[in-house]
Amino acid sequence: MKDGEVQQIGTPQEVFNAPINTFVAGFIGMPRMNMFGGELLKENGKYYVDAMGAKILLSEDKQARLAANKIEPRPVTVGTRPEHISLDHVDGGMLEGIVEVSEMMGSSVHLHLNAYGRDCIIIVPTLDLANATFDIGSKVEFTLAPNAIHLFDPETGKNLEY
């Protein structure tokens, strides 16, 4: 609820996985969803998102929903949850940031990065670390999970898939 108006009704998992707008996306989940400016692209019938210079092919289910809504290429707000960011290398989809804070949380490390002038939070499971450390000021490369990217209209905040 925002300003006395219900924003979205659903189970916690439905609202977490498919937020209807940027308010819901930022309200549900801890830490909050990362938001970046970007461009929705369409090439040879396929949708891509350009997020901070990384061109990422969107998953098939996102392709279908965007096509069904007849969404054309445009500026977008790209949303991704900290747990849906990976340190794995992916061709064409790598981003980078500088570690500002590294918080050991037991089963995971929360990295707070400065990525292209924006705050970005990444949750890295400790099982994936292989004794890696993240020193303040060090560079980290990461990518966004194509099946978990959310695309919002920058003016209305509405999720373009729903």
Band (48; pLDDT cuts 50, 70, 90): very high
Pick the closest to residue 49 from 95, 83, 118 (CA basis).
95
Band (62; pLDDT cuts 50, 70, 90): very high
Mean pLDDT of 80-105: 87
* pLDDT over threshold 90, residue 89: no
The residues spanned by each domain of the chain are 31-152
Which pLDDT does position 88 carry in this prediction?
73
What tokens were used for 93? Answer: 């989809």
Which pLDDT does position 91 carry in this prediction?
62
What pTM value is reported for the model?
Answer: 0.90
CATH number given to 31-152: 2.40.50.140
Which pLDDT does position 92 carry in this prediction?
62
Q: Where are the alpha helices (DSSP H) in the chain?
A: 12-17, 22-27, 60-68
* pLDDT over threshold 90, residue 14: yes
Mean pLDDT of 81-106: 87
* pLDDT over threshold 90, residue 127: no
Band (128; pLDDT cuts 50, 70, 90): low
How far is the C-alpha of 8 from the C-alpha of 119, rounded, in Å?
Answer: 26
What's the sign of the alpha-carbon dihedral 134, 136, 139, 145?
A: positive
